[in-house]
Chain A
Amino acid sequence: MIYPDGTEALHDVNFAINSGASCSIIGPSGCGKTTLLFILAGILKPSEGRVQLDAQPREVALILQDYGLFPWKTIYENVDLGLRLRGISRSERRGIVLSLLDKLGLRNFAYHYPKQLSGGMQQRVAFARALALKPRILLMDEPLSSLDALTRETLQNFLLRLWKDNGMTMILVTHSIEEAVFLGKEIIVLSPRPGHVVKIIENLNAGDENYRTREDFFTKCREVRQNIEQGAI
């Protein structure tokens, strides 16, 4: 992928992800992770190559790096917007939005604006907005990176449960090795810009909330770190 100004963000990226899998993408800052997600989501057209999805474009949801909430819309309106753009009736939307806000503990903040919420709550709104669309593929760009460690672990557990319960394909871009290992059954390591795939690491033990404290978790983290360092050379 080469941007119009000549910046080559990605080079020769090739991978396949099984339907229903969970996959982490990790790589150094500026290596083209966000670019890759935008391409997967169909928002940017790659200058070369293509993406093949086993889903309709409308079954793909994307959560942006800075949550991507609209500060001029209330929490309710933010979560509602995707459904509204799809032309779903107001009453049907209302049911979906309110039940999601309930599930994510945001019901009391429905008529607040994003600015009035903490980072963790804004992040949950972003999840609610994506989940409202019942996506088959959920793309996430460093969704938890600006949260404190505790909130972060809580939401990691939440994501894990979400993935297990819904059977959707989850692709998570992250800076954090631990997060990549905790959430991704597959971990794609990218090199510095222009990003290309250094290695795809199998991580079959992921999927358990206790994984974080286990010995095999740390072994896996070490393996990922070694690959990132190798890619940087």
Chain B
Amino acid sequence: MPRGQAEHRARGYIIAALLLTGLWYLASSMLDSPELPSPLTVLYAFIAGIRADLGFHILISAFRVLYGIALAGSFAVPLGLLCYNNRIDKLIAPVIYLLYPIPHIVLLPLIILLFGIGNLSKIVLIAIIVFFQILVTTRDAARNLSTNYIYSLLSLGATPKDVYRHVILPACLPKILTAMRISVGTSIAVLFFVESFATQEGLGYMIMYAWSKMDYPALYAAIVAMALLGLCLYLILECVEKRLCAWVYLQ
């Protein structure tokens, strides 16, 4: 990205952040209640939190989300790409579309039964939910691929394996990475859910803990941390996308 454009974007982010903080400040002074502390109070709580163990909880949460997305991607991407093949698609597509609309979060009891109540079951639940988002997008991208690219590669003497490597994967990669980026939002929501019980680590735990103690500044500090975590992951994935798919972003 040209430098001017990056500066332009950064300025946009700063203005938006200031605007939201302003609204928050207005709302908190109008409500004048401990349930919505002012941004400044939360900032102090955030700094105090970082001095204590907030950083550790952020890292744990980041680890769970990233692991979940990576796990989901490593299954969903190959499976979705294989759907380029008509025969495989006929097999897989009905299964996907039957399972996709189920709110997978209800699988929680089953997952705890299978994977215990530790980190693994939290990661698996995030992975399952994100898996379907990435799978459906990848499959659609693979199905809509222009056959001309395939013919073009075959005319160069390619094997089926070459077709996946040189055409199907690179052609679908922008869509796959976009799906992953969007899945950050979903996985943070699921993260909160899975961290709100049976753990003493992570931002979800911090939120529930602070809430139970009615420590509202700490509660909002943890919420802000969660928002920042989501934003960071989103921006990282966007960077990866711009790097790997530079060809999409040409003027």
Give Cα A129–Cα B153 distance, bound, in whole angstroms: 11
Give Cα A69–Cα B170 distance, bound, in whole angstroms: 13
Give Cα A179–Cα B158 distance, bound, in whole angstroms: 31
Partner of B148, one of A41, A68, A86, A129: A68
For the residues of A in contact with B, the DSSP-based class is loop
Q: For residue B195, give the distance in angstroms from its CB to the closest CB of chain A.
A: 38
The reply to whether A57 and B247 form a contact with Cβ atoms under 8 Å apart is no
> Of residues 62 to 119 in A, which have CB atoms within 8 Å of B's CB atoms?
62, 64-66, 68-73, 81-82, 85-86, 113, 115-116
Contacts of A70 in B (CB 8 A): 149, 152-153, 166-167, 170
Partner of A57, one of B157, B166, B173: B157
For the residues of B in contact with A, the DSSP-based class is helix
- For residue B32, CB closer than 8 A to chain A, the reply is no
- For residue B155, CB closer than 8 A to chain A, the reply is yes
Contacts of B149 in A (CB 8 A): 68, 70
Contacts of A38 in B (CB 8 A): 151
The reply to whether B157 and A115 form a contact with Cβ atoms under 8 Å apart is no
Q: For residue A112, give the distance in angstroms from its CB to the closest CB of chain B.
A: 9
The reply to whether B157 and A82 form a contact with Cβ atoms under 8 Å apart is yes
Give Cα A115–Cα B249 distance, bound, in whole angstroms: 10
- For residue B171, CB closer than 8 A to chain A, the reply is yes
The reply to whether B156 and A81 form a contact with Cβ atoms under 8 Å apart is yes
- For residue B162, CB closer than 8 A to chain A, the reply is yes
Residues of chain A whose beta carbon lies under 8 Å from any beta carbon of chain B: 38, 41, 43, 57-58, 61-62, 64-66, 68-73, 81-82, 85-86, 113, 115-116, 129, 133
Given contacts A70-B153, A82-B156, 5 further A-B contacts (CB under 8 A): A38-B151, A64-B152, A70-B166, A82-B157, A85-B159
Q: What are 18 of the A-B contact pairs (CB < 8 Å)? A: A41-B155, A43-B151, A64-B148, A64-B155, A68-B151, A70-B152, A70-B153, A70-B170, A72-B171, A72-B173, A73-B170, A73-B247, A81-B166, A82-B157, A85-B166, A86-B157, A115-B250, A133-B156
